[in-house]
Structure 1
Amino acid sequence: MKVNYLGPCQLAEHPAFDGLEPQRLPASCYLVEVSDEAGVDGGIIEGDVLVVDEARPVEHADLVVVEIESQYRLFRSHRIGGGHRLMPACGGRGHFAKASDCRGVVIQHLRQQATA
């Protein structure tokens, strides 16, 4: 699924930050917002904000952001030998990639609380 780059955590302001202290995150972190491709069913939905650490090494079963054709996309990693099979977070066919192809590992999932 496509994600949209929002900027470095220390500089970004977003309603989903309620209770989070972005200055406490490593400088290597940035934010992405999940696009409408995700829909509203499942663990990750449209509008969710993900904190991505570009310095963290990719491990098995991580959610990772990969740049493909000038777009950031979200995948789940499956470690195979020295590489990774990346499976789209919302289902579909995966492909093989090296850890260097990844732009960061998701370390936190934020969801803006609905207001009544």
Structure 2
Amino acid sequence: MRVNYVGPLVAGLGHPALEGYDTTCFGTSCYLVEVSEEAGVDGPLIEGDVLVVDEGRVPQHNDLAVAVVEGEQRLFNTVRIGNSLLLVPPLDKSGAVPARWSDLRGVVIRQARRYAF
């Protein structure tokens, strides 16, 4: 699923989904993305969720990571096999693709939801 870049995570960033979060506890290598409408409104990730991504973290097995595929930032579950990485879309598990380390943009370390249902 696509994600939309929001910006670097700095103290005082005024995104409504981050109300109540202490943003000073995140490092300078963190930035925010927002989950696109492709996610829908049912499941662990829904449209509009804001994710904190750490571009300094190396993806491990079963991490949620952002990678650039076909010119778009997309969200994937990672499958680590030795020194290789496979990217598995969180919604459609049949579309797995091998990862190039240069395409990775970071690992999701926090999820924030603007509205609780």
Shared fold per TM-score greater than 0.5: yes
Q: Could you list the per-position Cα deviations for residues 18-58 of structure 1 after superposition, in whole angstroms to 9, with x for gaps in the alignment? A: 11122221000000000000001110000000000000011
Partners of 1:3 and 1:34 within 8 A in 2: yes
Runs of 4+ deviating beyond 4 Å: none
1:98 Cα shift?
3.2
Identical positions, percent: 50
CA RMSD in angstroms, aligned pairs only: 1.5
**Which residues in structure 2 correspond to 1:64-103 (within 5 Å)?**
64-91=65-92, 92-103=94-105
1:71 Cα shift?
1.2
CA distance in structure 2 between the partners assigned to 1:37 and 1:76 by the alignment? 16
Count of residues in Structure 1 that have an aligned counterpart in Structure 2: 115
1:89 Cα shift?
1.4
Secondary structure of 1:23's counterpart equals helix
Secondary structure of 2:27's counterpart equals coil
Q: Could you list the per-position Cα deviations for residues 3-22 of structure 1 after superposition, in whole angstroms to 9, with x for gaps in the alignment? A: 00000010632111011122
1:3 paired residue number:
3
**Which residues in structure 2 correspond to 1:1-116 (within 5 Å)?**
1-10=1-10, 12-91=13-92, 92-114=94-116
1:114 Cα shift?
4.8
